[in-house]
Structure 1
Amino acid sequence: MIAYIRGKIAEITDQAVYVEANGVGYELICPNPFRFQNKLGQTDKIYTYHHVREDAQILYGFEKNEEKTLFAKILNVSGIGPKGALAVLASTGVQDFVMAIEQENEKFLTGFPGVGKKTARQMILDLKGKLPFDYTVEEVNVKQETGNNDALEEAIEALKALGYSDREINQIKPKLKQEKQQEADGYIRKGLALMMK
């Protein structure tokens, strides 16, 4: 098993990051390859999951080890393959996903591409209490209360109206979530500043 690759980020596409290590170029399929945009041409460490099928061997790449761990756990859910697991990680953070599983938040889970109610229930059944992350139920409750941020959601809708794609918005969403803004305007200004970087 290849645990990670450290090398120069040589190229980024819509689906993958190409990393050159010791003269070998590795194609790593990533949830959001453009997270690595600011490291293009630089050396970086990318955690990898080596997926073997009868007809292919594919390397999946992740910025953080916990994302790789969650990817592997989601793959164990009946009815979800690598494409579905990638879509989850492209759309949300590890912490938010754990919150949804522990709180049995089907509405949150059915927001992912290709996840209906049946699959959401299967996710909860297979993963609740089994995810190896340091989030207790108490922490999850607190974080969920503070995570229902109407101002942030309003700002995201405004950014979409301004013509920014879901992919672009997903890139900056983690940074926006760290902001402590009371009004949507504050998030919008911060979002536009991040888009310009």
Structure 2
Amino acid sequence: MIARLTGKILEKNPPEILLEVGGIGYEILCPMSSFYAMSDQGSITLHTHFHVKEDAQTLYGFISKDEKTLFRELIRVNGVGPKVALAILSHLNIASLMNAVANEDDALLAKTPGIGKKTAQKLIVELKDRLAKLELNGSNHQTITASANINPNTQKAAQALQALGFKTKEAEKMLSAIKDDALSTEELIRQALQNK
């Protein structure tokens, strides 16, 4: 198993890079988040996942070990292959993905190309407990746990406000002013309307 490679980038052709390691060129598929973090460094280290199918052997690379860990969690979900997992990690950063799952934000996940509403809901159901137990190395973990404690009724209140005719951003702004995490959906809506 190829777990990590350090070498020089010869070519960048998103989502693929050609990495030269000891005279051998490896074609590696990377999420866009890793592409942005690469800049134009001479030598680079990538955490890799080697994926074998009947008709292909593909190498996926990630700047951070946390991205690789999340990628592996995503491909464990039934119906989510490596290409879809790569699209998710290209669309959402680690904190956004974990917050979307923790807060059951299927609308945000469904904005990823190749993911429909049903797949987004399946991701949330299968990943919610696994991601909560996940030990990540990065500093993003603090922000994830902080926002995972948000009142679960907030999303329902936001949907109710949108049904009343408020725009998404407007509803979110009205609800973000409320600091009490123990309110019911009805109390949240009432306070949001008073804050308007």
- Normalised by the length of structure 1, the TM-score is 0.67
Partner of 2:181: none
Partner of 2:111: 111
**Alpha-carbon RMSD:** 2.3
Partner of 2:98: 98
Q: Which one-letter code corresponds to 2:15 in the other structure?
A: Q
Tell me if the contact between 1:12 and 1:37 (Cα under 8 Å) persists in the aligned partners.
Answer: no
Partner of 1:21: 21
Taking the aligned partners of 1:101 and 1:91, their CA distance within structure 2 comes to 14
Larger radius of gyration: 2
Taking the aligned partners of 2:109 and 2:29, their CA distance within structure 1 comes to 23
Report how far residue 26 of structure 1 moved.
0.6
1:48 aligned onto 2:48: yes
Taking the aligned partners of 2:91 and 2:22, their CA distance within structure 1 comes to 33
Report how far residue 127 of structure 1 moved.
0.4
1:32-75: per-residue Cα shift (whole Å, max 9, x none)? 26422422xx1110110100000111000111111111111100
Taking the aligned partners of 1:93 and 1:81, their CA distance within structure 2 comes to 18
Structure 1 pair 125/4, CA: closer, same or farther in 2 (3 Å)? same
Across the two proteins, how many residue pairs are aligned to each other? 144
Partner of 2:12: 12
Tell me if the contact between 2:73 and 2:127 (Cα under 8 Å) persists in the aligned partners.
Answer: yes
SS class of match (2:88): helix
Partner of 2:63: 63
Identity of aligned residues (%): 38
Partner of 1:89: 89
Tell me if the contact between 2:102 and 2:148 (Cα under 8 Å) persists in the aligned partners.
Answer: no
Task: Tell me which stretches of 4 or more aligned residues in structure 1 moved more than 3 Å.
Answer: 133-138, 141-145
Identify which of 117, 121, 140 aligns with 2:147: 140
Structure 1 pair 72/141, CA: closer, same or farther in 2 (3 Å)? closer
Taking the aligned partners of 1:142 and 1:38, their CA distance within structure 2 comes to 38
Structure 1 pair 20/117, CA: closer, same or farther in 2 (3 Å)? same
- Normalised by the length of structure 2, the TM-score is 0.67
Structure 1 pair 9/102, CA: closer, same or farther in 2 (3 Å)? same
Taking the aligned partners of 1:115 and 1:15, their CA distance within structure 2 comes to 18
Gaps of 5+ in 2: 155-168, 170-196
SS class of match (1:38): coil
